[in-house]
Amino acid sequence: MAVHAHPDDESSKGAATMARYVREGAEVLVATLTGGERGSILNPAMDRPEVLANLAAIRRDEMARARAILGVEQRFLGFTDSGLPEGDPKPPLPEGSFALVPLHEAAAPLVRLVRDFRPHVILTYDETGGYPHPDHIKTHQVAVEAFEAAADPDQYREAGGEPWQPLKMYYFVSFHQAKYVALHEEIVRRGLESPYAEIFAEWEERSRKRLERGDRPLEITSRVNAADYFGIRDDALRAHETQIDPNSSWFACPRDVERMAWPTEDYHLARSLVDTELPEDDLFAGVRESVTL
């Protein structure tokens, strides 16, 4: 189970991993906590008044196309997108936003979904949300709460369902410096123009801000080779037309470069109730042995 804040997050983080495991016979469910109603339109071709007026419905349609491409199941949990507050000082979040929902209330639908779907592995964001969007941070909190509470029959009785204990929880480590350095170096080695110069120029400032917040880079404990599924990931990304510009930096790196220089999607093992040896190349390491014994 992959737990995400908005439609499109599932296609930008861990999508090739999900596509691989589905095609290897695993059941994969994406839990999408909000409808993405307050997202910006990031594709100029879709920046039209009629799209903005129907954004919630359009984003649901985009999610339906993306989940079909990936081959996953998917559920919306019904919370309202908080939006990304901007300005100094930042404005308060709109009333009723997901990030303002009390933790117990926010986690209850996910607890029920965990009990119903019975996942062995849960994927989600780290404490920072991957970036400081209030919905991503709340998604982390909700996912951790569900991982810890779903097996306890005395917790979330109102949520219903038979208790179930997931065995492993991972955080996405999707956008990190080592990956982009490797891509950049391979592009340069081939005599091509690297699209990552601007990223490197911004990296020091981002690193400084993370350190000021007390954030530390996550250790990559687990690397899943998903190179054969990058094309499926890209198709799923393009399905989110309001969010993904097909001419944007998402697709700036030639895919043969990416397959050569960084063929994995990367994770941090945050919790495990089974024995496993790090580093891993399989998110089900230790689970397969535990389930089949």
Any idea where the domains of the chain sit in the sequence?
2-175+263-292
Model pLDDT, residue 292: 66
Residues 273/279/282/285 CA torsion (nearest 10 deg)? -30
Model pLDDT, residue 276: 96
Residue 92 to residue 186: CA distance in whole angstroms: 44
Partners of residue 263 on adjacent β-strands: none
User: What sign does the CA torsion over 189, 195, 199, 200 have?
Assistant: positive
Model pLDDT, residue 235: 98
Average pLDDT, the chain: 94
Residues making up the binding site for Zn(2+) = 6, 9, 136
Model confidence, pTM = 0.94
| Residue 131 amino acid letter | Y
Residue 204 to residue 33: CA distance in whole angstroms: 32
Residues contacting 70, CB < 8 A, separation 6+: 10, 11, 15, 18, 19, 22, 28, 30, 232, 233, 236
User: Which pLDDT tens digit goes with each residue over 249-271?
Assistant: 899 999 999 999 999 999 999 99
pLDDT per position in the chain (293 positions), as tens?
Answer: 999 999 999 999 999 999 999 999 999 999 999 999 999 899 999 999 999 999 999 999 999 999 999 999 999 999 999 999 988 888 999 999 999 999 999 999 999 999 999 999 999 999 999 888 999 999 999 999 999 999 999 999 999 999 999 999 999 999 998 999 999 999 999 999 998 877 777 777 766 776 676 677 899 999 999 999 999 999 999 999 999 999 988 999 999 999 999 999 999 999 999 999 999 999 999 998 888 65
Residues making up the binding site = 6, 9, 136
User: Which pLDDT tens digit goes with each residue over 104-154?
Assistant: 999 999 999 999 999 999 999 999 998 889 999 999 999 999 999 999 999
User: How is residue 269 annotated by DSSP?
Assistant: E
Segment holding 184, helix H or strand E: helix 177-189
Q: 280-290 burial by CB neighbour count: b if 16+ within 10 A, else e?
A: beebbbbbeee
Residues 103/109/112/117 CA torsion (nearest 10 deg)? -120
CATH code of the domain made up of 2-175+263-292? 3.40.50.10320
Model pLDDT, residue 213: 67
Segment holding 122, helix H or strand E: strand 121-124
